[in-house]
Structure 1
Amino acid sequence: MAARLTAADPAARWSRDEHERGVALVLEDGDVWEKGCASVTLIEDSVLSNARADAISGRTGIDGVVAGARYSAAALSFVLHARSPLVPTLRGDVRWFKVGAHEWYGGGLDLTPSYLFDDDCEHFHSRLRQLCESRGGGAESYRTMKAACDAYFWLPARAEHRGVGGIFYDDLAAPWAPDFSLALLDAALDPAGPYMPIVEIRRALAYTPAQREWQLTRRGRYVEFNLLYDRGVRFGLTPESVERVLVSSPPLTAWRFRAEPLPGTAEAELMAVLRTPREWA
């Protein structure tokens, strides 16, 4: 993934942060991406806490997931915040969790634009649907995962979604889950995949200071979701992990009082879709 990003944005500056359970690669100050990161975490033969056991057993309904049980887990997550307000933010991850004889996969890929281009959304969702049909559970799995993505990336206090969605899955134990998860990671930054063709089309387009300011406002919503609602952030935020958890935040944001766009503007068109998601594929 780092090689693909470097090929697309050679000016980006990279740093590497290693810790006892993994590594994070942080991208900053590129021509295309203002900030991004890709991180891997691996936990082997650890012990479930009460909170984690309750959360897993509550979601899966499987007996034997109790405090003190041994578990292993792995995750790869990534996010890319573009410099241009016309290039959307991309976020994705794949997670694996094993307790005893039970194992589950989770993950997803979703798009957060500041400006709405129907062609971009249709391309992104069409590629994800094709991936579900060829490597996953078929068209029905795309519809299920798309609905789950819309439901998860929702800011109830704002009554709006964070972006135009994608796919999201959790506690997946289907036989196709391992192959699909690997295929999703491989496709995420493929030059012909769901995201990179959008970047190539939009990266060179001129934009105005007002469009940049709107991008910073939308980034504020991104941060709001992460801090208030994201399950992974709330679960993993500790004094020891704060830098690793918050590294996915954009480098610059803005909060304007009552930043509601005027009717008929491109910004208002985006908000209409964020409040009432469309079917793109």
Structure 2
Amino acid sequence: MHFQAIYKPQTSLNTFTPTSTGSGFLAYQGSCSPADGRREMSSERQAEICSLLQNHGYRHRGFGHPSVTLTWSLALAGGGGISCVLQDGEVFEKAGVNVSVVSGFLSEEAARQMRSRGKSLKAKDGKLPFCAMGVSSVIHPKNPHVPTMHFNYRYFEIEEADGTKQWWFGGGTDLTPTYLNEEDAVHFHKTLKEACDKHDLKLYPKYKKWCDDYFYIKHRGERRGIGGIFFDDVDSPSKEEVFQFVKSCAKAVVPCYIPIVKKHCHDSFTPEEKLWQQLRRGRYVEFNLVYDRGTKFGLLTPGSRIESILMSLPLTARWEYMHNPPESSKEAEMLEVLRNPKDWVH
């Protein structure tokens, strides 16, 4: 498989104008070889999400622009990407979408982590060339009645000592509400299930459980949110079939989330509800910095762009000593679901 980043020059930091190949997420041909310079990735999903962020979060307080789009490249490794970030908007407190295409050599620690997941990686002279590419986004709304949403879809390829290439796809979409709204939870999961069911009826229940297990904050005994779907190291039944599945999941992001934003973005809220949102965002930070594979891999990659890696963190968060919500409160109801995940659709 062969990828090339295709972007139009940015005439303004406040204007996002990526070239789209019409693939919906990735367009590929050949192999993912960093040497030939023909890696190709469509930014269609990024452009779609960025446009929605700008439309819903246009009003801005303070200095700067409601959104900033930056094209970046890696200093020590190959590749680069585009980061589109909105901060302190009317609806979204902080939101970003990042497209990246990175190549280089796996660090010893990164290779060790992959081997711990069952990868048999044979290095040549201690080196493992890799190529990774993907699109990711985290959206942190201002209103505590609008949930945070995260998605990430990616492709990874490693060349072993004998020239053999191992490849796999990974990704997922998940929701992190501050307050539980069962109707929203059903809509979110139902939309993702429909995307999965187009390919195999067994995928949604498998990847829903994987999501609940992956986003587990072990030291808290809680999930980060109400889940969604998550998968990694997927390399069968075929490259093309997995790719089509990934595209279906990526296309489901907007319909599973934006209706929820529109429904609640003007809801009234109290200072106490805002405080609870900040406490839950503290949990979000804990998961991302302690457990998240993507964050760990990025921080272990020489020359990686730290701002893009930490784009997922909320603008503000809070930690209070020994905070426990009152029994039978809305906050306690949320905690119960985070401790004991539910099946939202059947």
**Structure 2, unpaired ranges of 5+:** 1-48, 61-65, 74-79, 159-163
By relative contact order (CA 8 Å, sep 6+), the higher-ranking structure is 1
Deviations 1:44-66 (A, max 9, x none): 4x333333333334424445467
The correspondence for 2:228, drawn from 166, 171, 180, is 166
Q: Which residue of 1 aligns with 2:10?
A: none
Alignment pair present for 1:267 and 2:315: no
Alignment pair present for 1:18 and 2:71: yes
8 Å Cα contact 2:298/2:304 also seen in 1: no
8 Å Cα contact 2:87/2:93 also seen in 1: yes
The correspondence for 1:258, drawn from 293, 313, 322, is 322
SS at match of 2:262: helix
Normalised TM-score (structure 2): 0.75
Instruction: Report the AA paired with residue 179 of structure 1.
Output: Q
Q: Which has the higher helix share?
A: 1
Alignment pair present for 1:248 and 2:301: no
Instruction: Report the AA paired with residue 326 of structure 2.
Output: L
Which segment is superposed worse, 269-278 or 26-35?
26-35
SS at match of 2:137: strand
Deviations 1:201-229 (A, max 9, x none): 11111111110111011001101111111
Tell me the C-alpha RMSD between the 2 structures: 1.8
* CA drift at 1:78: 0.4
Deviations 1:18-74 (A, max 9, x none): 321212111112111110111111024x33333333333442444546742332110
* CA drift at 1:243: 2.3
8 Å Cα contact 2:53/2:92 also seen in 1: no
SS at match of 1:41: strand
Aligned pair in 2 of structure 1 residues 257, 57: CA closer, same or farther (>3 Å)?
Answer: closer
Instruction: Report the AA paired with residue 80 of structure 1.
Output: I
Task: Output the CA distance in 2 between the equivalents of 1:257 and 1:51.
Answer: 34
Which segment is superposed worse, 228-237 or 90-99?
228-237
Which segment is superposed worse, 17-26 or 239-248?
239-248
Report the count of equivalent residues: 275
Q: Percent identity?
A: 35
Written as runs of structure 1 = structure 2, the 5 A alignment for 1:142-161 is 142-161=204-223
Task: From the CA coordinates, give the structure whose radius of gyration is larger.
Answer: 2
8 Å Cα contact 2:134/2:154 also seen in 1: yes
Aligned pair in 2 of structure 1 residues 231, 187: CA closer, same or farther (>3 Å)?
Answer: same
Aligned pair in 2 of structure 1 residues 184, 249: CA closer, same or farther (>3 Å)?
Answer: same
Deviations 1:156-184 (A, max 9, x none): 11111110000000011123221121222
SS at match of 2:202: helix
8 Å Cα contact 2:191/2:252 also seen in 1: no
Q: Which residue of 2 aligns with 1:185?
A: 250
8 Å Cα contact 2:196/2:248 also seen in 1: no
Task: Output the CA distance in 2 between the equivalents of 1:196 and 1:263.
Answer: 32
